[in-house]
Structure 1
Amino acid sequence: MNVRDVPITGEPIRLGQFLKLADLADNGAHAKDLIDAEEVTVNGEVETRRGRQLANGDVVSVGGDEARVSLSD
């Protein structure tokens, strides 16, 4: 599976924000729905906390789409 690097400026970023930034969710409500339905994994484990703080290198997956947090200067 192909993992896309999604550049962010400054850590940390919360899971709900990252889902929108990585185009894995259309908006905040969609991100919340995906998380509540347990369709989101972080580093291979189901994550149910929208406020989960992500770090550089974390891989977020939704329905086969994967995006990696990539810290940029």
Structure 2
Amino acid sequence: MTALDFLLDRDHVELNQLLKLTGLCDSGGAGKHLVASGAVRVDGEVELRKTRKIRAGQTVEVGDVRIRVRGA
């Protein structure tokens, strides 16, 4: 599994934007489609809310990639 650390410089980031900012999707729209497909997990649970607020301390998984969201 590939692990990425994402440094959050604000209170939260929307899930679809996190996927774009980490390079897993080309755009926020592509991120929305990926979330809608059921391929994204937040803290171990399948997440279908495309704009869910992701905060420091949470973990997002897409396939064999794990994103750890860190606070600034």
Provide TM-score, normalisation by structure 1: 0.88
| Deviation readout 1:7-32 (Å, 9 max, x if unpaired) | 12111111111111111222112101
Q: Count the aligned residue pairs.
A: 72
Provide TM-score, normalisation by structure 2: 0.89
SS at match of 2:8: strand
| Deviation readout 1:11-65 (Å, 9 max, x if unpaired) | 1111111111111222112101111110000011000001111111111111111
SS at match of 2:18: helix
- Stretches of structure 1 lacking an aligned partner (at least 5 in a row): none
- Stretches of structure 2 lacking an aligned partner (at least 5 in a row): none
Question: % of aligned pairs identical?
Answer: 36
**Amino acid paired to 1:70:** R
- Alignment map for 1:26-65 (pairs within 5 Å): 26-65=26-65
Alpha-carbon offset, residue 2 of structure 1: 4.3
Separation (CA, whole Å) in 2 of partners of 1:4 and 1:53: 18
RMSD: 1.2
